[in-house]
Amino acid sequence: MTLKELARQLGLSPTTVSRALNGYPEVNAETRVRVEEAARAANYVPNNMAQRLATGRAKAIGHVVPLHDHQIINPFFAEFIAGASESYAQAGFEMILSVVPRDQEEDVYRSLAARHTVDGVIIHNVREVDSRIELLTDLKMPFVVHGRSNVMTEGYTYLDIRNANAFEAATRHLIRLGHRRIGLMNGLIALSFAKRRLMGYTSALENFGLPVDEALIRDGEMTEGYGYDTMMAWLDSDHPPTAVLSSSILSAMGAARALADRGLRLGHDVSIATHDDKLSYIENGTEDAPVFTSTRSSIRAAGTRAAQMLIDMIEHPETPVQSEVWEVDLVYGRSTGPAPRAKD
């Protein structure tokens, strides 16, 4: 069933049918209803490929994920994607995923642009200085960055959260509780957000005149095991931290497990604060009685919003979209408490 055939059946021109279905104003209300009903009855759905060619819109958005040593798709990315999907579904866009070896990443962007396969892309895992921003600008391909570069925060659209602020606040909170040795269990430091969190952490320490001890700063892929191992290593060290700040709730859970294994009480012997991306399948206690003291921001909501921003950019290229930096809640749970009295 094609538009033309449907039009013939209705005794109308393809033009009118197209307009009726696409909600253009210049068609009689009655006619529109007639067309819509006929379309439904005939089970007519416009051919995507034809629509795309005619409009010059691919109605698709690309996500390119580099193949790396660790998990191909980590839980945070998965959750972000799920959020983005909602926006895509609503706006009739498809999500195109390209899993590619790292060294071919640029080629894929070039190819997507040249072949007009997607209308835009979302950039993940931004690095401190990220060549993709320049590349996509050159390619004139609309894009939204999840996070933002550390050296360049103008000239492109991004959606980020106040990582530095959040971690500064969390660190400050721990310091106020009397902690002097605070471990930072960061995400991979090559990534922009980790760098910002480090800055927030350091800045809080410095404001309180506390030393920054390299031994208390770790970075890595944010898994449960990483949290466990890191915590264990610290506990076994000469001067273990009395509090820990984690970049993800997964690592925080790992760290908490390490404490439990050692018979240490969470929030008493050792405090743990963490960032919480609000992964859909991990409850941090209840809404009003969280387990972990945490800086909270839904990564899924970020996905939905970033996708929406990109779609806006594509559909209204003239009106420049505003970047957004979300505030982050700090909620207080049972995982943090006053620093234990020094033993020595």
List residues binding DNA (CB under 7 A): 2-4, 11-16, 18-19, 21-22, 26-29, 31, 44, 46-47, 50-51, 53-56
Using CB under 8 A, which of 41, 42, 97, 152 touches a copy of itself? Answer: 97
Cα–Cα nearest to 219, from 238, 201, 237, 239: 201
The option from a copy of itself, DNA, none interacting with 71 (CB < 5 to 8 A, set by class) reads: a copy of itself
Cα–Cα nearest to 146, from 42, 40, 45, 64: 64
- Is the Cβ of residue 118 or residue 126 nearer to DNA in the bound state? 118
**Least spacing, CB of residue 73 vs a copy of itself, in Å:** 4
**Least spacing, CB of residue 54 vs DNA, in Å:** 3
d(CA 243, CA 229): 16
Angle at CA of residue 198, ends 197 and 200, nearest 5°: 65
- Is the Cβ of residue 77 or residue 156 nearer to a copy of itself in the bound state? 77
The option from a copy of itself, DNA, none interacting with 235 (CB < 5 to 8 A, set by class) reads: none
d(CA 70, CA 248): 17
The shares of helix, strand and coil residues in the chain, as percent rounded to the nearest 5, are 45, 20, 40
Binding mask 168-207 for a copy of itself (x = CB under 8 A): ----------------------------------------
Which token pair is 319? 């009106």
Which token pair is 5? 């055939």
Angle at CA of residue 231, ends 225 and 235, nearest 5°: 145
Using CB under 8 A as the binding rule, the residues of this chain from 221 to 240 that contact a copy of itself are: 224-225
- Is the Cβ of residue 92 or residue 101 nearer to DNA in the bound state? 92
Using CB under 8 A, which of 82, 135, 189, 232 touches a copy of itself? Answer: 82
The overall longest dimension of the chain from CA atoms, in Å, is 93
- Is the Cβ of residue 29 or residue 342 nearer to DNA in the bound state? 29
Using CB under 8 A, which of 38, 91, 96, 325 touches a copy of itself? Answer: 96
Cα–Cα nearest to 299, from 63, 80, 65, 73: 80
Backbone angles phi, psi at 45, to 5 degrees: -135, 130
**Least spacing, CB of residue 63 vs a copy of itself, in Å:** 8
Residue 42 in contact with a copy of itself, rule: CB under 8 A: no
Residue 34 in contact with a copy of itself, rule: CB under 8 A: no
What residues contact residue 55 under an 8 Å CB cut-off, 6+ apart? none
Residue 323 in contact with a copy of itself, rule: CB under 8 A: no
Q: Report DSSP state, residue 42.
A: T
- Is the Cβ of residue 72 or residue 190 nearer to a copy of itself in the bound state? 72
Pairing of strands 182-186, 243-246: parallel
Residue 37 in contact with a copy of itself, rule: CB under 8 A: no
Using CB under 8 A, which of 9, 14, 34, 52 touches a copy of itself? Answer: 52
Given a contact cutoff of 8 angstroms between Cβ atoms, the answer to whether 109 and 98 are in contact is no
Cα–Cα nearest to 277, from 302, 312, 254: 302
**Least spacing, CB of residue 96 vs DNA, in Å:** 19
For residue 44, how many other CB atoms are within 10 A of its CB?
19
d(CA 156, CA 154): 6
The option from a copy of itself, DNA, none interacting with 75 (CB < 5 to 8 A, set by class) reads: a copy of itself
Using CB under 8 A, which of 91, 100, 210, 233 touches a copy of itself? Answer: 100
**Least spacing, CB of residue 9 vs DNA, in Å:** 12
Residue 90 in contact with a copy of itself, rule: CB under 8 A: no
Name the residues that contact a copy of itself, by CB under 8 A. 43, 45-50, 52-53, 56, 58, 60, 67, 69-73, 75, 78-79, 81-82, 85, 89, 94-100, 111, 114-117, 224-225, 261, 280-281
